[in-house]
Structure 1
């Protein structure tokens, strides 16, 4: 059994256990992820985020879902990563106001804004079906997909991890705990997929609920909000700037003319502690 220091953080209620392995390795974290994430017998979280040294960027981030699976990217998590280092006066982020972070989705650049919010350049969206990945060729927009006894019109977007966006008249009526896992594990998605149900409020605002691959229902998802913003724009219903209202709060999403997706939102530290695991 090992003693591990941790910090609990969240981005709009999407919560994380932060484990700082920059100076001292944390062996076997992947195997311990399920126990750490357990809300009854562990610390409890949606994801575990590990901070590590990097040869390609300022620092490296690893992300483990509550089921123990390692994933490519987490939008709320990268904001928590940056805020964690900012609050601890990390010289790299303090000297520049931003970081370069190595992830499985590539190098990500979070920026600390004057109001304490974190803006992240999430990179270019991937719309090619095979690259998301899905089993479909070309862009997957408003495509019919049968899951269970129902049929849905889906748009597939990758923001370093795969997302299935579905527009609906009332997101609160969606039985997400029933539909989410059916779509996540649908044969159309070789690596499984995150699912977002979206209700249009206005030309620059939508309301969304999220089923995260490997974690289930969460209060917010940063990459999901980015995928929603892109899907809303290509649907013709919205522009390049969208406010995405999630159960845990709102994120501002901008799809620039340079084909980059910018996400802006908060990250909050809750408490710190030590666990034996």
Structure 2
């Protein structure tokens, strides 16, 4: 039996989308890894299933799995692709606002165009225990010993954990080692997504992200949200920021603590296909 899928991306962060509205998701970790293989499979940063909601207040549920087969709590670029996919499937019209259910809880999306979406990403969480991150008290900055160096990080959850490190140069060679080391650091018991951010101005950032379960990616929507939230809390940026990632640009709006954060950006369709490897299909 072939597995039909849609390949999509949000500014280079790429996904395999599965229609599970009529039949339950039935792939195990090994099968997900096989499809994620960029040489022998399809290749993706995350796999996303679109399913009936568990929460009756939501229109649909979407599940998220990383390329290594591990589950993910949230994906900002992915939810924009979910909205665009639902529009193409006839489930969502331009101008509609709909409530979707993610593994981390409800998310509100507004379809601005066929492939342009704004998303309510919720209220950033800075409390260490809820990220989760090991720290005695909540702070705007934490020292983190990495590869014999002490890095200054911000820690926040956007439905998934993030470490944010301000750097003067995104191409500095030491970042290649620091990214994986921070991502798997023992003070993040569930591992973390690591964002290296360069401040261009009060309304513009440049960002590079090493994602847990996926490695270096061309874009990370929750990472852009996390970087903005950490720097806005410190007073470094204003309430609207453009975040440039290797794959493109996102706009992040946040009025500050107690308010929800909004992310706006594109979603793109790449191709439709069928996975024919019988070992990866039940």
CA contact (8 A) 2:21 2:51 kept: yes
Look up the SS of the partner of 1:94 in the other structure.
coil
Q: Residues 34-45 of structure 1: matches in 2 within 5 Å?
A: 34-45=33-44
CA drift of 1:100 comes to 1.4
CA drift of 1:24 comes to 2.2
TM-score, reference length from structure 2? 0.93
Specify the alignment match of 1:267 in structure 2: 267
Specify the alignment match of 2:81 in structure 1: 80
2 CA distance for matches of 1:115 and 1:55?
Answer: 26
Change beyond 3 A, Cα 1:95–1:171: closer
2 CA distance for matches of 1:174 and 1:226?
Answer: 25
TM-score, reference length from structure 1? 0.95
In the alignment, structure 1 residue 137 sits paired with structure 2 residue 140: no
**Which structure 2 residue ranges, 5 or more long, are not aligned?**
none
1 CA distance for matches of 2:53 and 2:264?
Answer: 25
CA contact (8 A) 1:170 1:199 kept: yes
Q: Root-mean-square deviation (CA), in Å?
A: 1.5
Question: Which string of whole-angstrom CA distances, capped at 9 and with x for unpartnered residues, describes residues 113-145 of structure 1?
Answer: 148410000000001112111111332422211
CA contact (8 A) 1:176 1:211 kept: no
Look up the SS of the partner of 1:173 in the other structure.
coil
In the alignment, structure 1 residue 161 sits paired with structure 2 residue 173: no
Q: How many residues align?
A: 274
Q: Residues 20-39 of structure 1: matches in 2 within 5 Å?
A: 20-39=19-38
User: Runs of 4 or more off by more than 3 Å in structure 1?
Assistant: 174-177
**Which structure 1 residue ranges, 5 or more long, are not aligned?**
none
Look up the SS of the partner of 1:271 in the other structure.
strand
Specify the alignment match of 2:198 in structure 1: 199
Change beyond 3 A, Cα 1:235–1:11: same
